[in-house]
């Protein structure tokens, strides 16, 4: 059976995890590796563990089950638990992100049943408008921490916040310091020392890169940094990490390559002939006449991986577009001789990697 192939370089991923761990450790920061883009892939999680990071985070409990069964590592559920999955969360996640008292109470009850202690990372929304107790509601934050401290079967892992995922709010010195101040108020009110202040995701790294990281923030949940070697706020490659040689604006990586087979090869006009309507996805299109050019039809489509997130390895190849099952590329300027049955390769950005790992229509191959 034919499938396009996603090639993942586990050696480079391991190297990047090691470098990331060491860089953050110099600043007293613990790192939790986010594996969700790989859809619970055991091999990628193991590469990161081998690189020295000891907590793997996923946003789906069924993926945590895969990792627990295969690797037995410490795990974190990144998405707030559903009430309907509490049993699985306690069984397969050592830590989970939370903001709702009713969910925390349910975790406590289930943890007692399973004779476990489940750790709660209580989320505070510093303005990005996704999960968390709103930062101005300090009494609610304190009350929720007191609840966690009072319940059996759960303990406070730390306070967490998130940036740049929904509201596009950037991590800054100001919102970092404000988060620290909230933590200090909680510590005073509850007479505790909070172990971890988890200050966001890979976009938070730019504060470290600029040398302006607020002292006291000591934890980060991160994926994109070791997965792509990119600092995403200023959009630049970090030379300490393996990364692509393509323009950084393409945000792709040569650690992840998709190879698809040529199923048709010919020369055709660059403008359709006939009255135009919309495509299979109800989009209207505009075409520029470049005359007759050689093009290849590839055996993957939008239901597999979106072409706009795939960057041809050969810079002489241009992506023309996609249907659900086909991807069209211009190969007029390619210097090598291509034929039906040959493979054309692409580097992938985060979106393409996410989709390629999710679909059953793409086969994975690993480089060690």
pLDDT tens track for 14-28: 999 999 999 999 999
Kindly state the tokens that stand for 19. 């470098």
**Residue 87, C-beta contacts closer than 8 angstroms, at least 6 positions apart:** 110, 114
pLDDT score recorded for residue 287: 87
For the annotated catalytic residues, the residue numbers are 36
Q: What is the mean pLDDT of the chain?
A: 97
DSSP string, 39-62: TS-HHHHHHHHHTT--EEEES-HH
Q: Are 343 and 262 in contact (CB under 8 A)?
A: yes
Nearest to 158 by CA among 90, 220, 79: 220
User: What pTM does this model have?
Assistant: 0.95
Q: Cα–Cα distance between 328 and 331 in angstroms, integer?
A: 10
Helices (H), the chain: 10-25, 42-50, 61-71, 86-92, 101-113, 138-150, 173-190, 205-209, 224-228, 350-358
pLDDT score recorded for residue 200: 94
Which domains, and CATH codes, for the chain? Answer: 10-249 (3.20.20.10), 251-366 (2.40.37.10)
Q: Is the pLDDT of residue 13 over 90?
A: yes
Give the residue-averaged pLDDT of 153-179: 97
């Amino acid at each position: 059976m034919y499938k396009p192939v996603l090639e993942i370089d586990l050696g480079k991923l391991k190297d990047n995890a090691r470098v990331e761990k060491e860089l953050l450790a110099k600043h007293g920061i613990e790192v939790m590796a986010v594996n969700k883009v790989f859809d619970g892939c055991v091999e990628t999680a193991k590469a990161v563990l081998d690189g020295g990071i000891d907590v793997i985070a996923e946003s789906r409990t069924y993926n945590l089950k895969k990792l627990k069964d295969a690797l037995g590592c410490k795990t974190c559920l990144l998405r707030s638990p559903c009430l309907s999955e509490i049993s699985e969360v306690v069984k397969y996640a050592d830590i989970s992100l939370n903001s709702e008292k009713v969910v925390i109470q349910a975790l406590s009850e289930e943890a007692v049943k399973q004779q476990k202690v489940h750790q709660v990372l209580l989320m505070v929304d510093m303005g990005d408008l996704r999960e968390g107790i709103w930062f101005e509601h300090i009494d609610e934050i304190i009350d929720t921490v007191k609840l966690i401290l009072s319940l059996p079967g759960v303990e406070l892992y730390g306070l967490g916040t998130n940036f740049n995922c929904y509201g596009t709010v950037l991590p800054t010195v100001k919102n970092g310091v404000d988060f620290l101040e909230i933590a200090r108020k909680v510590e005073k009110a509850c007479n505790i020392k909070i172990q971890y202040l988890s200050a966001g995701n890979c976009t938070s790294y730019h504060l470290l890169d600029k040398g302006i990281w607020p002292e006291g923030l000591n934890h980060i949940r991160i994926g994109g940094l070791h997965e792509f070697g990119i600092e995403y706020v200023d959009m630049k490659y970090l030379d300490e990490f393996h990364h692509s040689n393509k323009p950084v604006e393409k945000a792709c990586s040569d650690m992840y390559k998709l190879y698809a087979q040529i199923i048709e090869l010919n020369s055709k006009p660059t403008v359709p002939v006939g009255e135009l309507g919309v495509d299979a996805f109800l989009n209207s299109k505009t075409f520029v006449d470049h005359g007759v050019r050689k093009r290849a039809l590839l055996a993957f489509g939008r239901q597999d991986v979106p072409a706009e997130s795939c960057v041809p390895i050969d810079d002489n190849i241009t992506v023309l577009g996609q249907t659900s099952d086909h991807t069209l590329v211009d190969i007029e300027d390619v210097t090598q001789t291509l034929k039906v049955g040959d493979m054309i390769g692409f580097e992938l950005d985060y979106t393409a990697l996410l989709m390629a790992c999710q679909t059953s229509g793409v086969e994975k191959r690993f480089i060690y």
